[in-house]
């Protein structure tokens, strides 16, 4: 199995310490504070390497998607904020943003507790976990941003007219007596 180069040096230090323990020599050839400092330094560098790897993946993915502007892809809502919501592709590991301005003509409100954006007139609801088909609208490479728009909402509720009448569409009507 391959060990990442960024982890080799900490592994080497652990092996040296274990070897000294087995040989019943002082396990800390270096003083303990030096090893602790070294451990923190190695952890920091590993985090930097992971961040750099994620950045490279993001940039390559955005370059790929830049050629796909206007095309659609399936996705799932992964985050809801007052300005819109984040959608992550279900077939591609790309995450983009859908702005409120790109949603159908309506005024939308953000419900913080339910992580929901809901239209006042239409009753359209967008919440975490909803499945959508989104269109790739824009790729902004300098900002590392992907802008999307909703083509279809697979979890949409038909709540527009029923909502105004006070009827809920969340559960089917029950017939018979309640116990």
Specify the pLDDT at position 13. Answer: 77
Residues 122 and 157 in one domain: yes
Residues 44 and 103 in one domain: no
Residue 55: domain span: 5-65
Residues 57 and 98 in one domain: no
Whether the CB-CB separation of 43 and 51 falls below 8 Å is answered with: no
Residue 13 phi/psi, 5° resolution?
Answer: -65, -40
Q: How far apart are the first and last CA of the chain?
A: 61
Specify the pLDDT at position 125. Answer: 92
Whether the CB-CB separation of 75 and 67 falls below 8 Å is answered with: no
Q: How many domains does the chain have?
A: 2
Residues 87 and 126 in one domain: yes
All residues at 6 or more sequence positions from 28 whose CB lies less than 8 Å from its CB, including other chains = 17, 20, 35
Beta strands 108-111 and 116-119: pairing type? antiparallel
Residue 140 phi/psi, 5° resolution?
Answer: -110, 90
Residue 57 covered by a domain: yes
Per residue of the chain (179 residues), give pLDDT as tens. Answer: 455 665 677 778 777 777 777 877 665 555 677 778 888 888 898 899 899 999 999 999 999 999 999 999 999 999 999 999 999 999 988 999 999 999 988 899 998 888 899 998 888 899 999 999 999 999 999 999 999 999 998 876 644 444 444 444 444 444 555 44
pTM attached to this predicted model: 0.68
**Considering 42, 65, 88, which residue would you say is the last residue of a domain?**
65
Domain harbouring 125, CATH code: 2.40.50.140
**Considering 44, 65, 86, which residue would you say is the last residue of a domain?**
65
Residues 8 and 10: their CA atoms lie apart, in Å, by: 6
Residues 87 and 148 in one domain: yes
């Amino acid at each position: 199995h391959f060990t990442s180069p960024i982890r080799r040096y900490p592994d080497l230090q652990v092996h040296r310490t274990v070897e000294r323990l087995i040989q019943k020599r002082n396990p800390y050839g270096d003083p303990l504070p030096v090893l602790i400092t070294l451990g923190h330094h190695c952890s920091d560098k590993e985090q930097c390497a992971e961040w750099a790897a994620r950045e490279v993946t993001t940039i390559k993915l955005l370059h790929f998607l830049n050629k796909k502007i206007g095309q659609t892809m399936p996705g799932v809502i992964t985050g809801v904020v007052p300005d819109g919501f984040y959608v992550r592709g279900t077939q591609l590991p790309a995450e983009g943003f859908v702005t409120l301005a790109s949603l159908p003509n309506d005024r939308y409100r953000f419900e913080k507790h339910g992580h929901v954006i809901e239209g006042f007139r239409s009753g359209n609801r967008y919440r975490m976990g909803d499945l959508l088909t989104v269109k790739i609208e824009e790729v902004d490479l300098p900002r590392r941003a992907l802008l999307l728009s909703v083509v279809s909402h697979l979890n949409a509720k038909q709540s527009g007219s029923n909502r105004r009448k006070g009827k809920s569409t969340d559960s089917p009507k029950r017939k018979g007596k309640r116990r």
